[in-house]
Chain A
Amino acid sequence: MEHDPVVENVGVTYRSRYCRWRFLDWLCKLCIILFKKRKSGDPCVYIPERIINRPDPCIYDQFLLMKLNQPVTWDNPDVAIFLNGVEQYTYDLTAGTTYEVVITVHNSSRDKPANGTLVDVRWIEFGAGGQIRHPVATLTANVPVWPGVTQVQTTWQTPATPGHYCIEVELSHPNDGNPANNVGWNNTQVKAAASQVQTPVRIFNRWPNGCPPVREGGGETSLVRVFAGWALLGAIGAFAASVSIGHHDFSYRQAGLYFLVGYIMGALIGFLIESLRARGRRGNPNDPPRQDRISCLLVELFVDSYVFNDAVGKDADPNAMFAPRPPAWPARVEPNVFHFAPNEAYRDVLLIVDAPNEPGPAEVFNVNAYQSGVPAGGVTVTVTRPEED
């Protein structure tokens, strides 16, 4: 693709040319700053390097894509599990077995490599919204600039008790340019087709201890104003009064006592005034009451048969990559909307697929969960059919 003329590097390094003596470095820099014309970028606006040029390690992040109203798969293209070098279906792992987990880390920055990216690998109980994370490993990845990728791998021994597991990968970098694309899940299951496939999906309550309070608005009781303002005012006033009252028999001890008492009285009165003032600053009486908030216990579930077509650069077409695909066969989640009861830890919902009886290829069904209007997780269930002759 052609280089977009709107975006251009405008940096020029003078320091290496002129500032060769480190002990005079700051003076040299000052001279250059004062006498060199700075970049302004007009009619564009020039943005400093510390803001605009940062590494951005990233992964296929379902939560980012759901926020952008794009369809997702929970069969993460950037997470693979191997046994003796053979890639495994992640829905069908054997208990107490050691697997290799391979993670592909991308870097969205074209300018800065994401060296030293930490890759936290964890497993979560199968389902959506699980909050109990079991660490598997913390790895380090040095990711070159886009389109370079780095693969990191670790071993993972599955728990001794059989079950299904979700692998969670979280990236972190101290200079990350975009912290919104760092969490990817791999959460899959396979069911053999019958006339009607029913599989439970566990939806975990992200806030089982109740909705977190929304910290917002209102006034503040400023202790700075109380102790550095009102209290000092009281102390100075009392001191001045003591000097005036004891004009002829002024003593330092008496003045100091007046000062101290004045400070304490000023602080008490100031705290009262500031508290009342804060109460009175709750907002504009013309403000309409807020009724647009979504309950944190509300869960909404959606099902589709979207399949991610991975491609990079010129080959990546967002229309094809994120083309919505409704359920391939009649499918529903029951219930698809519900409220968690207070202190309810999870609820099992049922994915019901009316699969055709005749042989044919498998189909995938993605169950995507939102709690309180924000992405909570999901699973991808593959429904297999007998192969055609």
Chain B
Amino acid sequence: MAGCDTKTMQPGNYDWSADRITAWTFIAAGGGAALAILEIILSSIPFGWMAALAIAFAFLAGAGVGFWVGNGVEWFVRLKEQNPKTITVSGMVVCAGKNTGIPPWHDNDWTFNLAHNKPPVDLTLLSPNDPGLNINEVLTRAAPGSGQSQSYFSIDPNLGNRPVFHCEIGSAIGDWSAAGGAVGSVVGTAAGIAAGIAACVALGIFTFGIGAALCLLIIAIAAAAGAWVGGLAGNLIGGGIGWLVDAFSDFDENGKAISKNCVMALTGTWVTDKSHQHNEIHDITSAQIVECGDAIGTAANPQGVVGAVGIGRHPIGPDP
């Protein structure tokens, strides 16, 4: 099942984290290549096609570590909490989905887009009652430490670029796979280097000249394989653990299914998501259905329906 897409309005950068991970990848790749070149110089290895290949594989090894570690670091630093931390908003769900799939391409979060404007209801900040805090602030105030002077509006590209407020329930799959990928790539690289050295020793080619070049190439290939395979394996194992954590946390499955066109009140942590340079609620700690279906869409005073449900009067909807 697909999650709910958003795009960040200019000058916001929707791909901020992707750009950062790319930078991590190339910086670490350069570091790997530099290490190989340093070894070639220090060990007086003759520069030929074998040494060039060793540099290329060292580049790949560094890229692997950079990609997976960068992905892990950026994952855990991307959400910056606002002050106040917890808010409650009400609005119409125009997209509800789950970003199901293989991490890191899918974080498996539950995602919702609330329409900014009616019909039928305006996005409304219900709490807290802090000075000057209104829905415009919720959408555009940058969190402390986010490195932004402001956050930017989000639009849903599948709904004719309708302005939306994006909200998510975090899945443990994302956290565990990001951590697993980072640890796996580091461990894999170290194991690869160790295996390469062991192979050189076993083959008796841990010596000078062409033997050293061959040995460096073997180590670089093993490190590159370890970085990428270890990262992928760690990512998948982490994702599996995360899937189990999710399943254990909702073992009895006594939740509810909702679809778009439900009016809901969502409470959770108000953050700036640096990875997309927009604000959102992440995680939603409580979701309350006000009304689903056409009833609220045809109500003369839809905000009144939200209010009546809020004070326990339930004007429409499924009476018991």
Question: Interface residues, chain A, CB within 8 Å of chain B?
Answer: 1-4, 6-15, 29-30, 32-33, 38-54, 56, 58-61, 63-65, 67-70, 106-110, 145-147, 149, 176-181, 206-207, 211-212, 214-220, 278, 281-284, 286-287, 290, 292-294, 296, 310-314, 316-319, 321-322, 371-375
The answer to whether A42 and B318 touch across the interface, beta carbons within 8 angstroms, is no
The answer to whether B244 and A30 touch across the interface, beta carbons within 8 angstroms, is yes
- Tell yes or no: B198 within 8 A of A by CB: no
The answer to whether A58 and B254 touch across the interface, beta carbons within 8 angstroms, is no
Residues of the B chain whose Cβ atoms lie less than 8 Å from the Cβ of A375: 129
Distance in angstroms from A33 CB to nearest chain B CB is: 4
Q: Indicate whether A70 sits within 8 Å of B303 (C-beta atoms), given known contacts A33-B251, A39-B253, A52-B287.
A: yes
- A71–B26 alpha-carbon span in the complex (Å): 59
13 A–B contact pairs at CB < 8 A?
Answer: A4-B292, A7-B258, A12-B253, A67-B124, A67-B126, A69-B303, A106-B311, A108-B314, A149-B312, A180-B127, A207-B131, A216-B83, A218-B145
- A56–B289 alpha-carbon span in the complex (Å): 11
Q: Indicate whether A296 sits within 8 Å of B255 (C-beta atoms), given known contacts A110-B320, A312-B314.
A: no
- A369–B133 alpha-carbon span in the complex (Å): 16
The answer to whether B288 and A108 touch across the interface, beta carbons within 8 angstroms, is yes
The answer to whether A316 and B11 touch across the interface, beta carbons within 8 angstroms, is no
Q: Indicate whether A282 sits within 8 Å of B149 (C-beta atoms), given known contacts A6-B259, A67-B125.
A: yes
**CB within 8 A of A283: which of B149, B259, B314?**
B149
The answer to whether B131 and A47 touch across the interface, beta carbons within 8 angstroms, is no
Distance in angstroms from A145 CB to nearest chain B CB is: 7
Residues of the B chain whose Cβ atoms lie less than 8 Å from the Cβ of A319: 299-301, 304
The answer to whether B98 and A321 touch across the interface, beta carbons within 8 angstroms, is no
**CB within 8 A of B319: which of A40, A59, A281, A314?**
A314
The answer to whether B310 and A61 touch across the interface, beta carbons within 8 angstroms, is yes
The answer to whether A4 and B318 touch across the interface, beta carbons within 8 angstroms, is yes
The answer to whether B285 and A51 touch across the interface, beta carbons within 8 angstroms, is yes
- A316–B287 alpha-carbon span in the complex (Å): 23
Distance in angstroms from A111 CB to nearest chain B CB is: 8
- A293–B246 alpha-carbon span in the complex (Å): 41
The answer to whether A106 and B287 touch across the interface, beta carbons within 8 angstroms, is no
Q: Indicate whether A9 sits within 8 Å of B256 (C-beta atoms), given known contacts A217-B142, A292-B136.
A: yes
| 4 A-B pairs closest in CB distance | A283-B149, A106-B312, A11-B254, A318-B304
Residues of the A chain whose Cβ atoms lie less than 8 Å from the Cβ of B244: 30, 33
The answer to whether A3 and B318 touch across the interface, beta carbons within 8 angstroms, is yes
Residues of the B chain whose Cβ atoms lie less than 8 Å from the Cβ of A47: 110, 169, 255-258, 287
Residues of the A chain whose Cβ atoms lie less than 8 Å from the Cβ of B314: 108, 146-147, 312-313, 316
Map CB proximity to A onto B18-46 as digits: 1 under 8 Å, 0 otherwise. Answer: 00000000000000000000000000000
- A58–B18 alpha-carbon span in the complex (Å): 43
**CB within 8 A of B286: which of A39, A51, A316?**
A51
Q: Indicate whether A322 sits within 8 Å of B307 (C-beta atoms), given known contacts A48-B249, A56-B288.
A: yes
Q: Indicate whether A8 sits within 8 Å of B126 (C-beta atoms), given known contacts A2-B318, A33-B248, A45-B110.
A: no
Q: Indicate whether A11 sits within 8 Å of B253 (C-beta atoms), given known contacts A110-B318, A296-B132.
A: yes
The answer to whether B1 and A52 touch across the interface, beta carbons within 8 angstroms, is no
Q: Which of B86, B133, B149 has the most CB of A within 10 A?
A: B149
Nearest opposing residue in chain B for A217, CB measure? B142
Residues of the A chain whose Cβ atoms lie less than 8 Å from the Cβ of B1: 40, 42, 45
The answer to whether B289 and A48 touch across the interface, beta carbons within 8 angstroms, is no
Residues of the A chain whose Cβ atoms lie less than 8 Å from the Cβ of B315: 313, 316-318, 321
**CB within 8 A of B313: which of A8, A42, A69, A312?**
A312
Nearest opposing residue in chain A for B83, CB measure? A215
Residues of the B chain whose Cβ atoms lie less than 8 Å from the Cβ of A14: 252
Distance in angstroms from B169 CB to nearest chain A CB is: 6
The answer to whether B144 and A215 touch across the interface, beta carbons within 8 angstroms, is yes
Q: Indicate whether A284 sits within 8 Å of B149 (C-beta atoms), given known contacts A64-B307, A321-B308.
A: yes
Distance in angstroms from B93 CB to nearest chain A CB is: 9
Q: Which of B142, B143, B311 has the most CB of A within 10 A?
A: B311
Q: Indicate whether A6 sits within 8 Å of B252 (C-beta atoms), given known contacts A217-B144, A312-B313.
A: no
The answer to whether B267 and A7 touch across the interface, beta carbons within 8 angstroms, is no
Residues of the B chain whose Cβ atoms lie less than 8 Å from the Cβ of A294: 132, 134
Q: Indicate whether A29 sits within 8 Å of B248 (C-beta atoms), given known contacts A147-B314, A214-B132.
A: yes
The answer to whether A281 and B147 touch across the interface, beta carbons within 8 angstroms, is yes
Q: Which of B98, B141, B255, B303 has the most CB of A within 10 A?
A: B255
Distance in angstroms from A31 CB to nearest chain B CB is: 11
**CB within 8 A of B304: which of A38, A109, A321?**
A321
Residues of the B chain whose Cβ atoms lie less than 8 Å from the Cβ of A217: 141-144, 146-150
| Sample of 9 more A-B contacts, CB < 8 Å, known A29-B248, A33-B251, A47-B258 | A7-B318, A42-B1, A177-B267, A181-B126, A206-B131, A283-B148, A322-B304, A371-B131, A374-B134
Residues of the A chain whose Cβ atoms lie less than 8 Å from the Cβ of B255: 10-11, 39, 46-49, 51-53
Nearest opposing residue in chain B for A11, CB measure? B254
Distance in angstroms from B170 CB to nearest chain A CB is: 11
Q: Indicate whether A181 sits within 8 Å of B311 (C-beta atoms), given known contacts A43-B259, A318-B301.
A: yes
- A106–B314 alpha-carbon span in the complex (Å): 11
Nearest opposing residue in chain A for B251, CB measure? A29
